[in-house]
Amino acid sequence: MTMTTECDVRALFDEAARSDERYVLRLFVTGMTTRSARAIKNLRTICDEYLKGRYDLEVVDIYQQPVLAKGEQIIAAPTLIKKLPLPMRRIIGDMSNRGRVLLGLDLIREPDHAE
């Protein structure tokens, strides 16, 4: 099994970084809990680093806008929905697993695993 290093992540990211595709993201949170605040902070950090100037992030508090959460069939929070570019993806959690978030946003490819 191969470990992915920060350099490997950067190399996988290079191709996506050259793209000028705009990312449309919607993050569903439950009020300003510690977990919600952490998800917002982590996601903004990732977006500012990897998608600077080419993303739109809408943060939706499901307590204040329950209709939006119902329309998107949100069953857990925090949940991030990547609307564009297609395919649409959902990522659940506080966005602290950077590799999983980058993979979910299609900014990196899953490294090949040696058998």
pLDDT tens per residue across span 71-88: 999 999 999 999 999 999
Q: Are strands 55-61 and 89-92 parallel, antiparallel or unpaired?
A: unpaired
Return the pLDDT at 10: 53
Number of residues assigned to the chain: 115
Contact 80, 74 (CB under 8 A): no
Return the pLDDT at 109: 83
Is it true that the peptide bond before 66 is cis, omega within 30 degrees of 0? no
Give the chain's residues under pLDDT 50. Answer: 1-2, 12, 16
Q: Give the integer Cα–Cα distance in Å for 52 and 4.
A: 23
Any idea where the domains of the chain sit in the sequence? Answer: 21-53+70-90
